Structure 1
Amino acid sequence: MHDFEERSKLEGKNESYWGKYKYNSKDLVCYALGVGASVVNPSDLKFLYESHENFSALPTFFILPGMLMESPVVGKSMPPGKYADFTNILHGEQYIEFLSDLPGTEGEFTIRNYVVDLLDKGSSAVAVVNSEIYQNKELVFRTQQHIFVLGQGGFGGPRNSKQAVAVEAVPKRAPDAVVEQRTAEDQAALYRLSGDLNPLHIDPNVATASGHPKPILHGLASLGFSARHVLMKYAGNDSSNVKALKARFAKPVLPGQTLVTEMWLEGKRVHFQTKVKETGNIVIASSYMDLKNVVKDGASASNQKMAAPSASSLKSDSLFAKIEDGIKSNPDKAKSVGAVYLYNITLNGKTVKQWTLDLKSALAVYQGEPKTGKADTTMTVSDDDLMEIAAGTLSPQVAYLKGRIKIAGNIMLAQKLGPLLKSEAKL
């Protein structure tokens, strides 16, 4: 457990910048499209469809909160006579480490950004920026960015930093796995919708002035492709399997070029690098992803059931107690439904409790997943939204269309609950 209040007092020698970052399912889907997820790959659907039973964020999405606050921090850190703005900064390296479970599919973060070191590389300066990302006052993950500030070196600063998370060279042998994927001509235009609006990635005039034949792809977009490839090959395409990632951006990518990610598995660390097929240039170098568990060849992750639901009280607990009473008072009507329902109740986008309504054989309501077989219909909804639906202040149809309730399995069976549950629980 990390104490938010105490950490917030530790400003250190460099000024800290605090901010907020809100996100929801639309942000996750937009990001996934920006880094090449596609409905052509069935296993990608859980990153693109908010009502998918396993809807999830890609792990590299969580780099964004720190990055979107980085510019003012870097600018303020420059020594006298030096400056940093969008015309002279480049993303050099990136690190992210998850300290607890992967955050949920919606929520708000509190972010602390600060420059931990300013390096003098001769012609350029490099700001090493740390980001601490908190949710509900707990530090949930942290990132580190190396930002090159072109033409602003020569101020007599250190060349290296003990604070920097180091890259690691890939093994000197043939890769264990290779994934190839072509980027779209409008890949940068799509990725910028996730928040990086640097005109270098969209304006031909700015790109030409910077020495590029056309607007280049964001480095983080290229990294998103690479991370997806590793996720598919060695993590069961399961974002929650990722512990940490470190990458170095070596050269730019032009939208429309083909990315080839080469991977080497060593223990639970996957070393990787990414090349452009058309040129042979290495664009993501000396990089790695640390995993909780290795799941080879895109196989499904372990079939372990989720941890026992939290015993803490939720508003909806009383609702399920009423449903149970209704079943006991009218068992024939309950049995006429003839289906098993699973409710995933969420707080801040994360499932914190599950309830099963067995209206097929046991005629029972209980916490957890179905004791036998699978649910016919699975509904994922926040504690607050479920209570609004039950109270009649939120229409189930509106909730579904707005993504506030997600239904997997037999959607039509969800409509059969209404007559049974009457006014006190119109689910």
Structure 2
Amino acid sequence: MAIDYDKLMAWPFEDVRQRYTRRDTMLYALGIGLGSDPCDAEHENELRFVYEKNLVALPTYPVVLGYPGMWIRDPATGVDAVRLVHGEQSLVLHELPAPEGEVIGRTSITGIVDKGATKGALIYTERTVHDAASGKLLATLGSTTFCRADGGFGGPSGPVKPVHELPTRTPDHVEDRKTLPGAALIYRLSGDYNPLHAEPAVGRAAGFERPILHGLATYGVAGWALTKGLCGGDPSRIATIENRFSSPVYPGETIRTEMWIDGKTASYRARVIERDVVVLNNGRAMLR
């Protein structure tokens, strides 16, 4: 079954109303590795994100709020869900979410690009996250899904989102984060229960030596590196953050986030030190 462009563009998403607690906020931060050593002076400011006293949400927390689930696995989409990958993620943070509350997520498809029969297709989605009580817009999230087996359906060939080019100079700042061996098992409790991140047999069937870390967990690691390294640990100073996903991380590996600062624009990428593989690329963040 091929993609039906008009049908997919009009996909009927329902609003997602989500009540989240302080426990959920802390669990998300633990899933990306904060608080790994609360007695280490360098990491003491991480307690604000993993301990209920003076609790604060991380800037990337909205990625798990108002999430519509794996809608794309519905056969009616015409997408081969086995061969799709998360290609890009963006976040505009209008206001940092409270440590607990209720939100409404509204998702829509904003574009579909047919790259050709042998090159796959791109599906662009947007999700807005609103405070349920006030209606205030908290975050706008953009996601690109690369459907490797679904090109050639006769859809438009563009427009394609432009790529942010990184500076060629040596990075201005570097942050390293050793991930926990069980990081994926913790992060999945924030809502992404894909067995690819838990079952060794599923990981091997997908071509990996073992379960991989969620791409959005790696995104969260980079988001904290930017917050810590360039914003003095203040999550409210992150205005936008976006990147491409280029390779998976295995839990237990060390993620090095390399950053360049030009005024209020930060460029970044992340690599796994142990394998010298870039896992996030063409990253850009705007700082307040």
TM-score normalised over the length of structure 2? 0.88
Q: Pick from 56, 81, 89: which aligns with 1:94?
A: 89
Instruction: Note closer, same or farther for the CA distance 1:155–1:210 as it changes in structure 2 (3 Å cut).
Output: same
Superposed CA RMSD: 1.9
Contact 2:62 2:129 in 1 (8 A): no
The one-letter code matched in structure 2 to 1:28 is: T
Task: Measure the CA separation in 2 of the matches of 1:73 and 1:140.
Answer: 25
Q: Secondary structure at the match of 1:32?
A: helix
Q: Once the 2 structures are TM-superposed, how far is the Cα of residue 257 of structure 1 from its aligned partner?
A: 1.2
Q: Give the aligned length.
A: 271
Give the superposition deviation at 1:14.
5.0
Residue pairs, 1:6-405, within 5 angstroms: 13=10, 15-38=12-35, 39=38, 40=40, 41-52=43-54, 55-66=55-66, 68-72=67-71, 75=74, 78=77, 82-85=78-81, 87-99=82-94, 101-122=95-116, 123-135=119-131, 136-161=134-159, 164=161, 166-292=162-288
**Structure 2 residue identity aligned to 1:51:** K
User: For the structure 1 residues 285 and 173, does the alpha-carbon distance in structure 2 shift closer, same or farther, using more than 3 Å as the test?
Assistant: same
Shift of 1:268: 0.7
CA distance in 2, matches of 1:73, 1:142: 20
Q: Provide the C-alpha distance between the structure 1 equivalents of 2:26 and 2:189, rounded to a whole number of angstroms.
A: 11
Q: Deviation of residue 105 (structure 1)?
A: 0.8
Report the alpha carbon displacement of residue 51 of structure 1 after superposing the two structures with TM. 1.5
Uncovered stretches (5+) of structure 1, i.e. residues with no partner: 1-11, 293-427
Contact 2:213/2:250 (<8 A) preserved: yes
Aligned mates of 1:22, 1:84 — CA distance in 2:
32
In the alignment, which residue of structure 2 is the partner of 1:363? none
Q: Please tell me whether the aligned partners of residues 115 and 130 of structure 1 are also in contact (alpha carbons under 8 angstroms).
A: yes
Q: How far apart in 1 are the matches of 2:98 and 2:154?
A: 44
- CA separation of 1:75 and 1:159: change in aligned 2, threshold 3 A: farther
User: Do 2:10 and 2:109's aligned partners in 1 also have CA atoms closer than 8 Å?
Assistant: no
Cα distance in 1 between the residues matched to 2:190 and 2:15: 20
Report the equivalent of 2:4: none
Instruction: Among all aligned residue pairs of Structure 1 and Structure 2, give the percentage whose two residues are the same amino acid.
Output: 32
CA distance in 1 between partners of 2:195 and 2:59 (Å) = 26
**Larger deviation: 150-159 or 283-292?**
150-159
Kindly indicate whether the alpha-carbon contact (under 8 Å) linking 1:77 and 1:115 is maintained by their aligned counterparts in 2.
no
Alpha-carbon distance in structure 1 between the residues aligned to 2:226 and 2:186: 22
Shift of 1:74: 7.0
Give the Cα–Cα distance (whole angstroms) in 1 for the partners of residues 139 and 73 of structure 2: 21
Q: How far apart, in 2, do the equivalents of 1:262 and 1:142 lie?
A: 25
How many angstroms apart in 2 are the aligned matches of 1:76 and 1:19? 21
CA 1:64–1:285 in 2, change beyond 3 Å: closer, same or farther? same
For structure 2, which runs of at least 5 residues remain unmatched after alignment? Answer: 1-8
Is the 8 Å Cα contact of residues 22 and 52 (structure 2) preserved in structure 1? yes
Distance across 1 between alignment mates of 2:174 and 2:70 = 35
Local SS of the residue matching 1:272: strand
Change (3 A) 1:167 1:102: farther
**What's the CA shift string for 1:312-351, capped at 9, x where partnerless?**
xxxxxxxxxxxxxxxxxxxxxxxxxxxxxxxxxxxxxxxx
- Aligned mates of 1:75, 1:168 — CA distance in 2: 32
For residues 140 and 263 of structure 2, the distance between their equivalents in structure 1, rounded to whole angstroms, comes to 23
Classify the secondary structure of the residue corresponding to 1:172. coil
1:336-388: CA deviations, max 9, x gaps?
Answer: xxxxxxxxxxxxxxxxxxxxxxxxxxxxxxxxxxxxxxxxxxxxxxxxxxxxx
Distance 1:106 1:226 in 2: 23
